[in-house]
Amino acid sequence: MVSRQAILSAAALVSVTVPAVAQAPVRSERVQFARGASSTLLRGTIKGYQTIDYLLSARAGQAMTASLSSSNRSAYFNVLPPGSRDVAIFTGSTSGNRFVGRLPSNGDYRLRVYLMRGAARRGERADFGLSVAVTARPGAGAPGPGPGTGTGQPVAPGNMAAYCRGEASAQYGVRPAYIATARLIRGRNGGSTIDGTADQGRSGIKRFRCRFDARGRFIDVMALTRDG
């Protein structure tokens, strides 16, 4: 007869060797800027242990600016240098959701978007927008009127506020009614900006800036708060 102690020992061994949660594999997507552009806005959704690696080719000495806005405050992104699968040069969970830095080497950089372990374990979801710019010098992709090339059709000045609210609504994962915008400001380079706020409920009020180039083409929505 098998003793009760032997049964308990076997059960304990099984509980140790079987993982509690099977993590989903990392999905990779290649990032390509539009012709003549140096920035782009990436939108996506992750749930649970899902992770997305955005692969972006860049050269040593170039500067990268990246900013994450999400409907879930437990969503972050890391920046991994060429050849690295785990070691990051920027970790969002400890440094916030905005990265600005000069790149150390040539190759593919990974911008890894993920949920923190607790949120992943609960199967939470995050709709996010990741703004990425690669320029010749640090800070060139930062918020505010300045060099930048948009994509798509030009937007008339009278329609820019509504266009901005629509883009911010998608990026922050809230309805347009929860987006508020200020007046349009013309930059010295001919571009335009519109500042605004997104009410994410329990996640708080997020400040952002919509940017348009000199031709009125939309560039991106840049986060103005540290946590996106």
pLDDT value at residue 23: 60
Q: What is the pLDDT of residues 50-74, one digit of tens each?
A: 999 999 999 988 888 898 888 898 9
Of 188 and 67, the structure prediction assigns the larger pLDDT to 67
pLDDT value at residue 143: 40
pLDDT value at residue 218: 86
> Residue 142's pLDDT band (boundaries 50, 70, 90)?
very low
pLDDT value at residue 52: 96
pLDDT greater than 50 at residue 9: no
> Residue 184's pLDDT band (boundaries 50, 70, 90)?
very high
Q: What is the mean pLDDT of residues 190-219?
A: 89
Q: In percent, how much of the chain has pLDDT > 90?
A: 36
> Residue 180's pLDDT band (boundaries 50, 70, 90)?
very high
pLDDT value at residue 17: 33
For the chain, give the mean pLDDT.
81
Q: What is the DSSP string of the chain?
A: ---HHHHHHHHHHHHHHS-SS-PPPEEEEE--PPTT-SEEEEEEEEETT-EEEEEEEE-TT-EEEEEEEESSTTEEEEEE-TT-SS--SEEHHHH-SEEEEE--SSEEEEEEEEE-HHHHHTT-EEEEEEEEEEESSTTTTSSSSSS---BSS---GGGHHHHHHHHHHHHHTS-GGGEEEEEEEE-TTS-EEEEEEEE-GGG-EEEEEEEE-TTS-EEEEEE-STT-
pLDDT greater than 50 at residue 204: yes
Global pTM reads 0.55
Q: What is the mean pLDDT of residues 107-135?
A: 93
Q: Are 106 and 116 contacting, i.e. CB atoms less than 8 angstroms apart?
A: no
